[in-house]
Amino acid sequence: MASSPLQFSTPFRTLLLSSPSLRKSPRFPFHPSLFSPPLTQKTLTFSTGTRAISGSGKFCWRAKASMAGTAMEKGKGKVEVFDSEENLSVSLAKYTADLAAKFSKEKGSFTVVLSGGSLIKSLRKLVEPPYVDAIDWSTWHVFWVDERVVPKDHDDSNYKLAFDGFLSKVPILPGNVYAINDALSAEGAADDYETCLKHLVKSNVLNVSTATGFPKFDLMLLGMGPDGHVASLFPGHPLVKENEKWVTFIKDSPKPPPERITFTFPVINSSAHIALVICGTGKAGPVHSALGNSQNSDPLPVQMVSPEGELVWFLDKDAASKL
């Protein structure tokens, strides 16, 4: 769909944090076994300072200083578009900190799920003032939506990525960081992680959805690949239809490394809150497939993200460039 160009006044800025080496920093211990509807929209209109999408999802975007959006129909999500990744990261930090404060006050804990890719860089504002000093990090419990079956000091490890850019910079309790057992096979690591989650349900660290019976995380922070995959659930792969297991494994990932574990969609969609954080022109196509007016009979994995609670899309202007 053709659209008028958008004008942004704020210059694009990025901030990269230097990360200490795993060999030079204290490592969080991993946890070995504790027991040994796709979105379819009708129209897209542009006007100065405001975007609006009408249709079944009732998207309604308003302009802020960062060109961010407002809420739309429950289950379809809220879309926020930012003129820079810098502004996106500022908003994402506030969103995450606000939810952490809310859940910590309500139940004394905050269960948050990380992913890999560029997400960790977009969380960088959390390790800076005012958040790094204001957040009660002792209530945080950290999980991964997927992980590569590699050693934790391997460059492909999502744990290493999160440790270097986030975990090593905040005082989250080491026992509250739940990494995979990388000494196991892909199948063994997936079974072990699911066992860990079930133990945490029994000990009341994790809630369970009354609607689905799957674990209900407070917040999932998800990225998306250029092919529209989320977690390690890839387009056309049989695992996107897995509806019984909490955690499963893949040995033939289209994206290397081939062996991974991943949460399944029933777990992802049982979340109280999901933030989809997407930046870059290389991801504009699947964003348009999910939020534009295109019709496809075989939805992309990102289109299958539909939580019980709130879904918020954090997009920079490049990722939203085809809307």
Range of the domain at 186: 79-320
Grouped pLDDT means (10 residues each) for the chain, 323 residues: 38 32 40 39 29 34 40 60 97 98 97 96 97 98 98 97 98 97 97 98 96 97 97 96 97 95 98 98 95 80 95 97 92
Residue 74 covered by a domain: no
Angle, CA 278 vertex, CA 298 and CA 235 arms, to 5°:
25
- For position 287, which CATH number holds? 3.40.50.1360
pLDDT for res 9: 34
Residue 9 covered by a domain: no
pLDDT for res 76: 56
Residue 39 covered by a domain: no
Query: Sign of torsion, CA 214 215 220 224?
Result: negative
Query: Residue 294, class by beta-carbon neighbours within 10 Å (0-12 exposed, 13-18 middle, 19+ buried)?
Result: middle
pLDDT for res 149: 98
Count of domains observed in the chain: 1
The answer to whether the beta carbons of residues 225 and 282 sit under 8 Å apart is no
The answer to whether the beta carbons of residues 185 and 83 sit under 8 Å apart is no
